[in-house]
Amino acid sequence: MNTKAKKVANVDEADQAAPAEPKGKLKTKDYEKELARLHVELVKLQEWVVHKGLKVCIVFEGRDTAGKGGTIKALTERVSPRVFRVVALPAPSDREKSQMYMQRYVAHLPAAGEIVIWDRSWYNRAGVERVMGFASEEKVKRYLQGVPLFERAMVENNIILLKYWLEVSPEEQTRRLKARINDGRKTWKLTPMDLKSYSRWYDYSRARDDMFAATDLDFAPWFVARSDDKKRARLNIITHILEHIPYEALPREKVKLPPRQKAGSYKESDHPVRFVAEKF
């Protein structure tokens, strides 16, 4: 059996199905209702992961503006940051550059009861480092040969590894980058590196294709989410995560607030407190 056939045999048919045609715009009300339902399930997952001491690693990769940050925010906004831990490493220091490539990432892998979410990851070398010339082709070749060994070690040490590539179209990427230029809330997202990367669309496409060919593994496959519609992408990815990490709802005791103590001899302080101005 060849490698490709082996992969198909080990991945759910739903994950192999071709994407459907784009749907109409999702209403905000419908999006928020479904997201709230998923948030309840994520809390159940969180409690199960802690209860069972599971170790989960979720990788998000994609081009600039693909929607990684928004997806991670939607995934984590109603859960504990002590359990759902986001890792977004800066550029490596001179010391880190002298280390084994994977070394800086190992320190952030999950311990029991943790879900680590990577906003970009060790796959930087397969993408931006390769395209922008920060790593030689020889280094990239050795790296791509080593990733399956690294990820097999993770899986064999009982880490649940999920890898997501957010696929944005060139037209939507252009629209989103233009929107950042004059929006004061988003200007921090527009860097000189983003502009250089924008001009090299097909270099990134080739790098992505090589990355998939080398690291789309039967024990650690890539899952691709079309992200031109950010709201649908977020819902689809969170649903997929919940389907791929087995969990159960733990029993919960009914909560009743205890009676509050009486004031007794307590009197309000006359210390001149500085209140925040109420302008709204």
pLDDT tens digit sequence for 221-246: 999 999 999 999 999 999 999 999 99
The answer to the question of residue 9 being in a domain is no
For 135, the token pair is 């790593």
The mean pLDDT value of the chain amounts to: 92
For residue 2, the model assigns a pLDDT of: 36
Return the number of other C-beta atoms located less than 10 Å from residue 221's C-beta.
18
Tell me the CATH number at 47. 3.40.50.300
The domain of 45 spans 26-244
For 157, list phi and psi in degrees, rounded to 5: -100, 25
Alpha-carbon distance 254 to 246, whole Å? 25
Give the C-alpha separation, 242 to 155, whole Å: 18
Q: Classify residue 59: in a domain, yes or no.
A: yes
Number of folded domains in the chain?
1
Which stretches of the chain drop beneath a pLDDT of 70? 1-22
Domain assignment present for 170: yes
The pairs formed by 47-53 with CB atoms below 8 angstroms and a separation of 24 or more are: 47/249, 47/250, 48/247, 48/248, 48/249, 48/250, 49/83, 49/113, 49/114, 49/115, 49/245, 49/247, 50/83, 50/113, 51/250, 53/112, 53/113
Q: For residue 210, count other CB atoms closer than 10 A to its CB.
A: 16
Q: Assess if residue 270 is contained within a domain.
A: no
> pLDDT value at position 16?
62
Tens of pLDDT, residue by residue over 25-38, are: 889 999 999 999 99
With contact defined as beta carbons under 8 Å apart, do 46 and 245 qualify?
no
**pLDDT for 126:** 97
What pLDDT is stored for residue 195 in this prediction? Answer: 86
